[in-house]
């Protein structure tokens, strides 16, 4: 399931090297934050941030000229570097990459957003994340993909060094890689060849944990909007501060809603772009916090999706026939879910959903946990396939005639009743199947009572296609104390 396991490497060796032990089944929900390059203690990694800025400055200069479609594709289009097994792909490790949308937005905004790029006065350094602060169509995944493409040469060397020292030769491959570094003299991307770990006919990239984060980059739009009043108040120029405050206040209606407030913030930023630099400056001043928070987020992913899922996998193998099931899609899905329920409720599997005593809060983390223990199967397991009426969590299938949908819900979900009443029926029609299973997980007595009340009201508490999993930790007494 994991890099160290597959390539016969001691996980401690990988940890000492500073690399993440990635899953080779599905992307893990982490991505590269360019701010962590900027604030790194490692001089080589800090140099990577400078190389990012060099390329953006180059693009800015070229954006002043008319470019052929071929040059636009060469300069602005990048594939997803799927070989690092990180990001937001719900199935496997294949994402969409940076296509026309990113290229168009970057070309359009370079002369505007990055007008003073490389010559900022308020901030200590230029930052690529500025792009996603101005443009809601550019998110953290695109910023991460762009960063990974521009530092790919470093990641390839980082992985190659580890491969030559620690990975058996039978698992190594000499691989020519495209677009490794940019030659500013010829203005072309140069390929290189590396010795790399080989998995399923492709190479695998290792990534230093120190440049990874989860949920959001340190410089992000959500924080900017949330802290916008404080951003204005932190400006040294009293007259400018008063002018921006007055402009922003006039945009707000008498009883502002979240929607009208966000609209006022966006309009104010467009009028006074200096707000962006003021916000980034405050983020620079708290750079140590960025390192601490990102480290905690990476620890969570390691604990939840590597260490604890590995333990859950072992428990499933030891106490059930989870990995030996081969009936039709519905029977296999139901059998695996019942085995999962058994291990979570009676074989300490519930511990896999707690980190430092706190329960998992996201349905996505639960879904990924299920995906990571659904291997060794002849079925196609698609996560979040969208067939026109929104994405269902999983579609388990073998061919077009044998399909079963699996939907996970946390009992605390505020829309639980509405979802149970309507959602599955819509998904079944969209996916042209009559087979579906709903899984509800609760973590407290209060959630259990609320869930049971809803099930009773909807008269589905005894539905054969409903699996309820008790992940409470306050009712799991050891046998010796019962």
Q: What is the pLDDT of residues 448-482, one digit of tens each?
A: 999 999 989 888 888 888 899 998 888 876 544 54
Q: What is the pLDDT of residue 157?
A: 96
Contact at 8 Å (CB) between 349 and 340? Answer: yes
Give the HSE-up count for residue 352: Cα atoms under 13 Å, Cβ half-sphere: 30
Alpha-helical segments (H) within 135-273: 140-150, 152-166, 221-226, 228-233, 238-251, 258-271
pLDDT digits (tens, 9 = 90+) for 132-144: 776 666 677 788 8
Here the tokens at position 103 are: 């290229």
In Å, what is the CA distance from 438 to each residue of 235, 285, 385, 394, 464? 52, 47, 16, 11, 10
The pTM (predicted TM-score) of the whole model is 0.69
In Å, what is the CA distance from 256 to each residue of 79, 223, 253, 264, 460? 42, 19, 5, 10, 41
Report the pLDDT averaged over residues 425-431: 59
Q: How far apart are CA 58 and CA 68, in angstroms?
A: 16
In this structure, of 112-121, 160-169, 438-447, the range with the lowest mean pLDDT score is: 112-121
Which residues contact residue 252 at a Cβ distance below 8 angstroms, ignoring those fewer than 6 apart?
260, 261, 264
Backbone angles phi, psi at 203, to 5 degrees: -90, 160
Contact at 8 Å (CB) between 177 and 191? Answer: yes
Q: What is the pLDDT of residue 247?
A: 93
Task: Say if residue 117's pLDDT is above 70.
Answer: no
Burial 326-353 (b: 16+ CB within 10 A, else e): eeebbebbbbbbebbbbbbbebbbbbbb
Report the pLDDT averaged over residues 367-388: 64
Coil, helix or strand at residue 422:
helix
Report the pLDDT averaged over residues 88-101: 56
pLDDT band, residue 12 (cuts 50/70/90)? very high
Q: How far apart are CA 83 and CA 398, in angstroms?
A: 27
Here the tokens at position 277 are: 């630099």
Look up tokens 């193998």; give the residue: 317
Q: What is the pLDDT of residue 387?
A: 41
Q: What percent of the chain has pLDDT over 70?
A: 84
In this structure, of 92-101, 271-280, 289-298, the range with the lowest mean pLDDT score is: 92-101
Task: Say if residue 199's pLDDT is above 70.
Answer: yes
Q: What percent of the chain has pLDDT over 90?
A: 25
Burial 148-183 (b: 16+ CB within 10 A, else e): bbbbbbbbbebbbebbeebbeeebbeebebebbbbe
Size of the chain in residues:
482
In this structure, of 315-329, 378-392, 458-472, the range with the lowest mean pLDDT score is: 378-392
Alpha-helical segments (H) within 87-236: 100-113, 130-134, 140-150, 152-166, 221-226, 228-233
Task: Say if residue 97's pLDDT is above 60.
Answer: no
Q: How far apart are CA 338 and CA 344, in angstroms?
A: 10
Which residues contact residue 24 at a Cβ distance below 8 angstroms, ignoring those fewer than 6 apart?
1, 2, 3, 6, 85, 199, 200, 204
Q: How far apart are CA 324 and CA 320, in angstroms?
A: 9
Alpha-helical segments (H) within 321-362: 329-346
Task: Say if residue 118's pLDDT is above 80.
Answer: no
Report the pLDDT averaged over residues 410-428: 78
User: Higher pLDDT residue, 185 or 98?
Assistant: 185
User: Higher pLDDT residue, 91 or 257?
Assistant: 257
Here the tokens at position 367 are: 């879904």
| Nearest in space to 473 (alpha carbons), one of 374, 363, 355, 368 | 355
What is the chain's alpha carbon radius of gyration, rounded to the nearest angstrom? 25
Here the tokens at position 449 are: 């009572």
pLDDT digits (tens, 9 = 90+) for 17-72: 999 999 887 788 888 988 999 999 999 999 999 898 888 888 888 777 777 878 87
Q: What is the pLDDT of residue 448?
A: 92
Q: What is the pLDDT of residue 92?
A: 47
Backbone angles phi, psi at 346, to 5 degrees: -125, -10
Q: What is the pLDDT of residue 307?
A: 73
pLDDT digits (tens, 9 = 90+) for 204-235: 999 999 999 887 788 888 888 899 999 999 89
Highest mean pLDDT among 25-34, 261-270, 399-408: 261-270
């Amino acid at each position: 399931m994991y890099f160290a396991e597959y390539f016969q490497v001691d996980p401690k060796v990988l940890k000492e090297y500073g690399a993440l032990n990635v899953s080779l089944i599905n992307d893990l929900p982490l991505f590269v934050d360019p701010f962590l390059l900027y604030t790194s203690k490692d001089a080589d990694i800090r140099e990577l941030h400078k190389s990012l800025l060099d390329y953006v400055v180059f693009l800015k200069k070229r954006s002043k000229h008319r470019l052929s479609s071929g040059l636009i594709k060469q300069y602005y289009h990048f594939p997803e570097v799927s070989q690092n097994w990180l990001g937001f792909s719900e199935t496997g490790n294949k994402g969409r990459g940076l296509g026309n949308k990113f290229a168009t937005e970057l070309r359009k905004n370079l002369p505007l957003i990055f007008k003073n790029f490389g010559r900022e006065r308020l901030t200590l350094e230029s930052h690529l994340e500025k792009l996603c602060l101005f443009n809601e169509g550019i998110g953290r995944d695109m910023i991460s993909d762009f960063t990974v493409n521009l530092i790919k040469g470093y990641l390839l060397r980082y992985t190659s060094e580890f491969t030559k020292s620690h990975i058996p030769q039978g698992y190594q491959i000499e691989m020519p890689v495209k677009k490794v570094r940019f030659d500013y003299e010829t203005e072309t991307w140069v390929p290189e060849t590396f010795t790399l770990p080989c998995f399923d006919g492709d190479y695998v990239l290792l990534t230093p944990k120190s440049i990874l984060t989860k949920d959001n980059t340190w410089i992000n739009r959500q924080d900017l909007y949330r802290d916008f009043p404080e951003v204005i108040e932190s400006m040294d120029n009293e007259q400018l501060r008063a002018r921006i405050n007055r402009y922003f206040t006039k945009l707000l209606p008498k009883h502002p809603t979240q929607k009208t407030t966000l609209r006022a913030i966006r309009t104010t930023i467009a009028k006074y772009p200096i707000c962006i630099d003021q916000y980034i400056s405050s983020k620079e001043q708290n750079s140590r916090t960025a390192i601490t928070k990102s480290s905690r987020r990476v620890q969570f992913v390691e604990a939840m999706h590597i260490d604890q899922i590995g333990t859950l996998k072992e428990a499933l193998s030891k106490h059930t026939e989870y990995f030996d099931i081969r009936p039709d899609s519905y029977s296999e899905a139901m059998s695996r879910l019942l085995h999962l329920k058994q291990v979570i409720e009676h074989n300490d599997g519930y511990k896999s959903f707690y980190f430092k005593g706190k329960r998992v809060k996201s349905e996505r983390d639960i879904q990924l946990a299920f995906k990571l223990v659904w291997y060794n199967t002849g079925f196609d397991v698609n996560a979040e396939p969208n067939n026109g009426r929104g994405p269902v969590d999983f579609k388990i299938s073998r061919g077009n005639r044998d399909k079963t949908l699996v939907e996970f819900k946390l009992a605390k979900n505020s829309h639980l009743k509405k979802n149970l009443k309507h959602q599955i029926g819509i998904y079944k029609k969209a996916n042209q199947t009559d087979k579906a299973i709903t899984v509800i997980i609760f973590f407290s007595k209060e959630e259990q009572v609320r869930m049971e009340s809803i099930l009773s009201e909807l008269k589905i508490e005894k539905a054969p296609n409903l699996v309820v999993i008790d992940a409470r930790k306050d009712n799991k007494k050891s046998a010796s104390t019962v």
